[in-house]
Amino acid sequence: MTELEARRELLADPRRISPELRAAIEADPRLGALREELLAADAAMQRALTSAPVPDGLADRIVLRARYGSRSRWGLAIAATVAALAVGIPSYVRMHGRSLELARDRAIIDHVVQSVDELKDDGRVEPAALRASAAQLGISLRDPAGYRIRHLANCVIAGIESRHFIIEGPRGIVSYVILPGARGDDSERMLHEGGTSGLFARRGDLTVAVLAQNGMGREELESMMRAVLA
Amino acid sequence: MFGRSASHFDQVVRAYAAELFHFALWLARDRHRAEDILQEALTRAWRSWGHVKDEGARRAWLYAIVRNEFHREAGRAKRDEAEELDEEALARMTDERDFTRGIEVRQILERLPAPFMEPLVLQNLAGLSCEEVAQVLGVSVGAAMTRISRARSALRDLLRKAEGRPAPNRKETMP
């Protein structure tokens, strides 16, 4: 490799270097110095490119808009103005909050329906591990009699790290999701997607959901929620 | 392999949102525009999420969609043809006398011609190889390498000037 070829390769990419270029650098200190200078320039450039703070909640907004058709930032701003003029800002805030809750609830049921791999039995998950995992989000769990835990995972749902666990017992397989994010006191709701039904409710600053594919109605889901979530 | 998996999309968005935002910000030079471009781009990405068969190509694919959305939004799809490889503009920029000591890197990045800087930004911000940069830009690998080399050389010259050091002999660094 000639010096000119070595300089050409270094200028194209000083990080990925071929064995031939490495040998050339070892043989010529000027090439090593050039590489160091180019790497320093790249580092300065990267610092400059990434110095601007990323908007809070950016990933959440992207996921919600992409998958659930949330309105754009400008759409939300226009809606806010119209709502404030029509029914006052407090009403808008309540409505927007409910829209966000519904989007998150849909994201939860989508996650449970589409993550078929998570229905596989992971073998025995220790109840203590599940309780500890839930406690990290600030929620206490009971040990439901006659049930065993098939699966426990930290899942990103609507851009938020959540807990998803699945138990199996006399009433079949039931999924639970705990998602950080407060919701209204009166926001408990049922959603259905395909053969899956879900009950969504508030526990402190969390959204909790219990979902099943075996035709459970609201009363049964409420019972399963009470059986597991303290 | 992942198909149109919602949880996979969530994970990828969470992993790359920050760097894609910085890329959109460099393109648009405005935070609000950058977020709008990114949101629209990833909405489009979600619609064709399952089309990417090689998961290793996912990152470059996302950058290409953000770039396309920027050009679509700005109505500047022909920008490359208009400004492409204007070597004289690049040379004038690096020879300008008002590049005085103390100029910030950010200012340098804003002043260098975008067609040259874009491949270098992609390589630097996303860690893409020359081949991946070429794919994102839709040019040959040789063309991508030429632009990257020119941009990196100009950046080096300007950083030297900003630090009050002499620029290197051009023949020393420019192949």
Domains and CATH numbers, chain A: 3-49 (no CATH), 58-228 (3.30.200.100)
Q: Of B2, B4, B5, B10, which to mutate for an interface test with A (greatest number of A Cβ within 10 Å)?
A: B10
Mean pLDDT confidence for A40-46: 89
Q: pLDDT grade, residue B94 (50/70/90)?
A: low
Out of B74, B95, B123, a domain closes at: B74
Residue B1 in any domain: the answer is no
pTM of the model: 0.58
Query: Per the structure block, which two tokens stand in for A169?
Result: 């017992």
Residue B172 in any domain: the answer is no
**Residue A66 touches partner B, C-beta closer than 8 Å:** yes
Locate the chain A residue with the closest alpha carbon to B31: A55
Q: Are residues B70 and B104 part of one domain?
A: no
Q: Are residues B131 and B93 part of one domain?
A: yes
Q: Are residues B68 and B12 part of one domain?
A: yes
Q: Are residues B55 and B17 part of one domain?
A: yes
Q: Of all residues in chain A, what percent carry a pLDDT higher than 70?
A: 83
Q: Are residues B96 and B25 part of one domain?
A: no
Out of B56, B74, B92, a domain closes at: B74
- Element of type H or E holding A94: helix A89-114
Query: Per the structure block, which two tokens stand in for B92?
Result: 């004038």
Closest CA to A158 of A186, A177, A135: A177
Is the distance from CB of B66 to CB of B23 less than 8 angstroms?
Answer: yes
Instruction: Write out pLDDT tens, residues A150-181.
Output: 888 888 887 788 888 889 888 888 999 999 88
Query: Per the structure block, which two tokens stand in for A110?
Result: 């989508």
Out of B53, B74, B95, a domain closes at: B74
Residue B175 in any domain: the answer is no
Q: pLDDT grade, residue A87 (50/70/90)?
A: very low
Identify the residue with better confidence: B9 or B95.
B9
What pLDDT, on a 0 to 100 scale, did the predictor assign at position A83?
Answer: 44
Interface contact B149-A51, CB threshold 8 A? no
Q: Are residues B98 and B33 part of one domain?
A: no
Q: Of A8, A36, A45, which to mutate for an interface test with B (greatest number of B Cβ within 10 Å)?
A: A45
Q: What is the CATH number of the domain that holds B10?
A: 1.10.1740.10
Q: What is the CATH number of the domain that holds B154?
A: 1.10.10.10
Residue B30 in any domain: the answer is yes
Interface contact B152-A41, CB threshold 8 A? yes
Q: Are residues B151 and B99 part of one domain?
A: yes
Number of separate domains in chain B: 2
If 0-12 CB within 10 Å is exposed, 13-18 middle and 19+ buried, where does residue B100 land? Answer: exposed
Identify the residue with better confidence: B32 or A101.
B32
Could you say which residues from 127 to 156 on chain B have a Cβ atom under 8 Å away from some Cβ of chain A?
A: 127, 129-130, 145, 148-149, 152-153, 155-156
Q: Are residues B162 and B96 part of one domain?
A: yes
User: What's the CA angle centered on B33, arms B136 and A47, to 5 degrees?
Assistant: 65
Question: Which residue in the set A4, A74, A114 is minimally distant from B5, CB to CB?
Answer: A114
Tell me the shortest Cα–Cα distance from A164 to chain B, in angstroms: 12
Tell me the shortest Cα–Cα distance from B29 to chain A, in angstroms: 11
> Domain of B132?
82-167
User: What's the CA angle centered on B150, arms B82 and A48, to 5 degrees?
Assistant: 95
In the β-sheet with A206-212, what is the strand arrangement from edge to edge?
Answer: A148-157, A160-169, A172-180, A206-212, A196-203, A189-193
